[in-house]
Copies of this chain bind each other. A is one copy, B any other.
Amino acid sequence: MTTTKELADRLDRLEARARKAEDWTDIANLQAAYGYYVDKGLWDKAADLFAKDGTLEIAGRGVYVGQDRVRAYLHQLPEYKDGVIFNHMQLQPVIHVDSEAGTAKGRWRTLMMVGFLEKEGRWGEATYENGYVRENGRWRIASLHGIINFYCEYDEGWHRGGVPLLRSTHGIEPDRPQSFEYEAHPKAVIAPFHYDEV
């Protein structure tokens, strides 16, 4: 006959399994939500998705440390208004969760459509290697690291070269130098992987 001890042990293992799948979906929701806020310049909403000591590093502009600094960085990005397209679609997650530790890693990519009416139209694509942490019972972004694969002029396409990385941050200086040195297309770049096995 099955003992209550055996059942309790099975429950322990099953809880871990169920939590891992739930964590995967929660983190997928979180990163997708970030993208919708970025699209529309909702910078405070986007910053709120970071952990208190979360970091942000995008396009070789250095590392911003802590939610307040991430917020400052985001606020120097373009304002969303008539004539602006600033789409950052969040796609193709590979998420590995350590449910017990309350931490996770995720590889994502963004396909970017950037436009300012009669001024500029660009395609872009980047890889993210992000960290996540469970904070007060909710998953938050512990580290967002975006590595640009290419930006190109819509009118030219990626086969006529790329737009060099724009490193200006309007006077909001990073807290640490960038962690990964690279140039985007036409230079080859492979964002580091957080996993060796899947």
Which B residues are in CB contact (< 8 Å) with A1?
Answer: 4-5
Query: Can you spell out 14 A-B residue pairs with CB atoms less than 8 angstroms apart?
Result: A7-B7, A14-B14, A14-B15, A20-B25, A36-B109, A82-B188, A85-B150, A85-B158, A85-B185, A89-B111, A90-B92, A115-B159, A117-B186, A121-B157
How near does chain B come to A184, taking the closest CB pair, in angstroms? 11
Decide: B92 and A91 in contact? CB cutoff 8 A: yes
Count copies of this chain in the complex.
3
> Which one, B8, B95, B186, contacts A7 given CB within 8 A?
B8
Decide: B87 and A125 in contact? CB cutoff 8 A: yes
Which B residues are in CB contact (< 8 Å) with A186?
Answer: 82-83, 117
Bound-state CA distance A52–B29 (Å) is 28
A77 at the B interface (CB under 8 A): no
Decide: B85 and A113 in contact? CB cutoff 8 A: no
A40 at the B interface (CB under 8 A): yes
> Which one, B11, B138, B158, contacts A14 given CB within 8 A?
B11
Which B residues are in CB contact (< 8 Å) with A24?
Answer: 21, 25
CB contact under 8 A between A93 and B28, given known A157-B115, A160-B118: yes
Decide: A188 and B84 in contact? CB cutoff 8 A: yes
How near does chain B come to A72, taking the closest CB pair, in angstroms? 22
Decide: A95 and B125 in contact? CB cutoff 8 A: no
A102 at the B interface (CB under 8 A): no
CB contact under 8 A between A22 and B17, given known A87-B125, A159-B120, A188-B80: yes
A33 at the B interface (CB under 8 A): yes
**Surface stretch bound by B, among A61-69, A163-171, A172-180, A190-198:** A190-198
A94 at the B interface (CB under 8 A): yes
CB contact under 8 A between A121 and B32, given known A7-B8, A149-B85: no
Decide: B118 and A32 in contact? CB cutoff 8 A: no
CB contact under 8 A between A36 and B92, given known A17-B18, A18-B17, A158-B115: yes
CB contact under 8 A between A193 and B36, given known A17-B22, A87-B125: yes
